[in-house]
Amino acid sequence: MRFSYELTETDDRQSVSPPPSGSTPKAELQWLPLQSHPIFPTATISAASAARTPTNLMAWDGASRLYVWDSHKKCLHWVSIRLGDPDPDSISAGFPSKVLQADVPVCFDVSKISINRNGSALLLAGQDGLRVIYLYGRASREENTIICRTVSIGSEIYFGSNNSIRILQISWHPFSDTHLGVLSSDSVFRMFDLSAAIGQPEQEYYLQPGELGLSGNAAAICPVDFSFGADHLWDKFSIFFLFSDGSTYIICPIVPFGSVYKWESLLEMHNDACTFGLKSANSKAVNNSNLAISWLESTFPELALQEGVGGNIFAVKAQPFVLMDASVLLQGPLRKVCHGVTENAVIQKGACEGRAISLLYNLVGKDSILMTAWSGGQLQLDALADEIQPVWKMGSAPRVCVDSLGQMFGAAMICELAPTNLSILKLDQPPNDTFWLGYPPPLLRLAIVDLALPNKGGSLISMASDPLVPERIFCLHDGGIDSIVLHFLPFTSQTSGKEKQMKTPSVFSVLSTCPGESSSPEPLHGFLTLSDSSGGSWIVGLTSSHECVVLYMETWNELLTHAIYSERETVSLEEATDADTLTVISKELLSGPKVVLLPSTAPNLRSVTADSIEGRSMLHQYFKLFHENYVEYAHKVYFELQHHGPHLKKIIDNQHSRIREVQQKLLDVEKKQEKIEDHIDSAVKLHSSLEMRLQNLRSLPGLQKKPLSKAERDFKLELDKFTGVELDALHSSIESLNARLTRHVHYQQQVDSSNRQKQIAGRRVSRIQDNELSQLKSSLEKLSLLNSENGKKVKLVESALSSGGISK
């Protein structure tokens, strides 16, 4: 339910109510996929906005309007969107889009835009400026450009000429359409009301922790982030502050003047204070509960007049009020619960790297979850182990501003540290006797998740909860987007009669912006979570190159994760089928229509005539009972079937597609079965051959060698110790020996050459003598032959002479 207020002042006040739907004429639009819309390639991001600061240049009004800031043209693009149309998984965007131009030039770099609850005003935040542009109430219109009224917030406080105060965090209040909460570097939390004087804050809270935090460092007392509470008891009136050392503080109660709250929740808080606080045996608890009841009845006067209000009231408006003689205390730092160990051990066990940079409060059922992001890439998940209670310090009067009529329009107070004696709480000693004593609620450590980011120590991490599945939290960092699903919560989880084991969260990578291992990650400059009434959920991201990314988050993924854990717990098939059925059809429809209960004082129908007054009244009464039970049940069934028809068709189509994929995979497996059998046969043969080789190797003689004895091992150790000793001296000796060897070889070569020459000369002389001897032998042989021939000739002559003398 949304509320709007029309204000009559015209000086510093602005109407935040949207105009009627028929006042804005609609032109013929061409519907395109959101990621293909022409505004994304044309718009650019400035260098300052792309610096190392958390950036979000996209906003959604929760219905049909998407806003994108163009840092180059200093304008706002307004795009009409349709969720799940025509494709259930897509987002369509209307073309041409409209351009919203501020009537006052925006002379600073915008790093964050955020829209209020009813979609009437949009925040433009940067390091050098803070402005709010009213999306309706335009001053003029030129073609497709709308000139909108723009106002500056806290310019004299934050952006003065001699001012060095930095804005750390800024956020719209969840229970007001006109209130902004701003945390600055001077440790002051200010709340501005856009429907009043925008130059000065409506409420100011000066945070004074009073100690050096958990780490004992003076820099640890600096706040870095804050988060508003959700609609759960006193959480709705609480603000959670995170300091740089990871310590968390709470201030409660804080209510914007004129904010709207549910009557039922306020009545529950009032009854709780009257039941448990006033009836306590501790005087301190009675005093604190009296202060809380007084504050509730003064802020919401309807609580003091419950009998005259009646039962038709659904929401009430907070009146300007603070306790005149008391100031709100700063509760904390919130300690950890443990099983009989000291606080230092708990803190050291859960230590994270770097410093704390961001905080997120998330309500899941009855559990209040606090998520702390550290610069080292870790996420610390804690749950409040007890309810938050308001705490005041008596005798510390706040500063109050009133108008001429005595109506309060501003307040400021110093939030000092609340004194406490409970530094740590043990689980085996539940604090049943600590109600309304002013002790801060302890924290139950759920888990510490390490995102393993590439940029250790300098990562920028921001978090956002899923609008449909509160157990799922999206974490935006330099490397992309991760999804963290909580599987255990202390109060929401069903224990079924015994204490259930705490399950660690599941972490899934939704989107990665790292182009490669060698490249640096590209952070996103826009992130939104969108959802529709039929259960569809989308993630829209804006990259550094100004490209739009749309991801459809299917709801059955969460059911699949739950089914996996159910299998580990041996859940039967019938129970799983019933659980899947209950997720589609409500229990009320499955139980059937209510039984018609006839009034006990009804007369006998046989004794009543149809045309009598009693008969007509009885007929009317029966007709009314029939209508209240059967006709209304038929309407519920018709609406339920009509509402879940597309969703069921989509689930059935997904199941059919998965069946076809499985069948195709089975066919592929059958085709590859023969190849698999061949691979198995070859593997068996190889295994047998390896066994044979192993047997052969075992028969080698080397395996029969005995191990070394102790003396041999000692000697081997001594040799190993001498290995490498005096290696330089050994090298020098080897070099000297090499030099000596070279010289000796050279000298030996010289000696050998001289001997060789002598040998050659002797061999020549011997050759000459041998030649002469051979010549002499040949000449002697020739002479001997001549002598022998001459002797033969002489003998012939003598024989011839002798024969002649005789004949005479």
Q: Where residue 48 falls among pLDDT bands split at 50, 70, 90?
A: very low
pLDDT at 806: 43
Whole-prediction pTM = 0.67
DSSP sequence for 734-787:
HHHHHHHHHHHHHHHHHHHHHHHHHHHHHHHHHHHHHHHHHHHHHHHHHHHHHH
Query: Can you spell out the DSSP letters for 610-666?
Result: TTSHHHHHHHHHHHHHHIIIIIHHHHHHHHHHHHHHHHHHHHHHHHHHHHHHHHHHH
Going from the C-alpha of 106 to that of each of 50, 61, 71, 260, 695, the distances in angstroms are: 17, 22, 10, 32, 85
Q: What is the DSSP letter of 244?
A: T
Please state whether beta strands 408-415 and 203-207 pair in parallel, antiparallel, or not at all (unpaired).
parallel
Peptide bond into 441 cis (omega under 30): no
The string of pLDDT tens digits covering residues 632-646 is 777 777 767 776 777
- E strand or H helix at 795, and its extent? helix 727-807
Give mean pLDDT, residues 762-786. Answer: 76
Which ranges constitute the DSSP H helices of 497-598? 556-568, 573-584, 587-590
Phi, psi of 571 (to 5 degrees): -80, 135
> Contact, 102 vs 131, CB < 8 A?
yes
On the question of pLDDT at 13 being above 60, the answer is no
Confidence of residue 34 (pLDDT cuts 50, 70, 90): very high
Question: Which band of pLDDT confidence, cut at 50, 70 and 90, is reported for residue 573?
Answer: very low
242: tokens are 């995170």
Sheet of strand 150-152: strand arrangement: 112-115, 121-126, 129-134, 150-152
Least confident of 37-46, 154-163, 401-410, 473-482: 37-46
pLDDT tens track for 331-348: 989 988 754 444 444 444
Q: How far apart are CA 533 and CA 592, in angstroms?
A: 25
Please identify which residue in the block is written with the tokens 């609580």: 303
Q: How confident is the model at residue 15 (pLDDT cuts 50, 70, 90)?
A: very low
What pLDDT, on the 0 to 100 scale, is given for residue 359? 95
Q: Residues in the chain, how many?
A: 808
The answer to whether 172 and 228 have CB atoms below 8 angstroms apart is: no
> Which ranges in 414-571 belong to alpha helices (H)?
556-568
Cα–Cα distance, 762 to 744 (Å, whole number): 27
Chain-centroid distance, C-alpha 509: 8
Task: Please enumerate in sequence order all residues whose Cβ is within 8 A of that of 158, keeping only pairs 6 or more positions apart, or say none.
Answer: 130, 165, 166, 167, 182, 184
Query: Residue 577 region, left (φ>0) first, then alpha (ψ -120 to 50), else beta?
Result: alpha
Can you tell me the distance from the alpha carbon of 633 to that of 623, in angstroms, rounded to the nearest whole number? 14
Ranking 122-126, 416-420, 658-662 by mean pLDDT, the lowest is 416-420
Q: Which one has a higher pLDDT value, 431 or 79? A: 79
**Residue 493, pLDDT score:** 64
Cα(152)–Cα(170) distance, integer angstroms: 14
Give pLDDT tens digits for 483-524: 999 988 887 765 444 455 678 888 888 888 776 554 556 778
Adjacent-strand bridge partners of 484:
473, 507
| 145 confidence band (pLDDT: 50, 70, 90) | confident
Confidence category of residue 251, pLDDT binned at 50, 70, 90: very high
Measured at the CA of 226, the angle between CA 221 and CA 232, to 5 degrees, comes to 125
Token pair, residue 230, equals 């959700």
pLDDT, position 479? 82
| Phi, psi dihedral angles at 189 (to 5 degrees) | -105, 125
CA 132 to CA 394: how far, in whole Å?
37
Q: How many CA atoms lie within 13 A of 133 on its CB side?
A: 29
Q: Give the integer Cα–Cα distance in Å for 308 and 15.
A: 32
pLDDT in tens, 710-740: 888 888 787 776 666 656 666 777 787 888 8
Q: Please choose, from the candidates 140, 189, 142, 184, the residue with its C-alpha nearest in 3D space to the C-alpha of residue 166.
A: 184
Strands (E), 297-442: 315-317, 326-328, 330-331, 337-338, 356-364, 367-374, 378-384, 392-394, 399-402, 408-415, 425-426
The string of DSSP codes covering 156-222 is HHHS-TT----EEEEEE-TT-SSEEEEEETTSEEEEEETTS-SSS-SEEEEE---S-TTTT-GGGGS
Query: What is the pLDDT at residue 112?
Result: 93
pLDDT band at residue 236 using 50, 70 and 90 as cut-offs = very high
Dig out the tokens for 655 from the structure: 């199941």
pLDDT for residue 760: 72
368's CB contacts (< 8 A; 6+ apart) are 229, 230, 232, 235, 361, 362, 383, 384, 388
Task: Tell me the average pLDDT across 646-673.
Answer: 87
Helix, strand, coil tally for the chain in percent (to 5): 35, 25, 40
Of residues 296, 358, 314, the one with CA closest to residue 168: 358
| Average of per-residue pLDDT values in the chain | 78
The tokens describing 774, both together, are 């051979």
The pLDDT-based confidence of 380 (bands split at 50, 70, 90) is very high
Answer yes or no: is pLDDT of 430 > 50: no
Q: What is the pLDDT of residue 603?
A: 53
Pairing of strands 548-553, 399-402: unpaired
* Nearest to 13, CA basis, from 154, 184, 182, 196: 196
CA distances to 63, 120, 181, 461 from 464, in Å = 18, 22, 18, 10
Structure tokens at 598: 């006839």
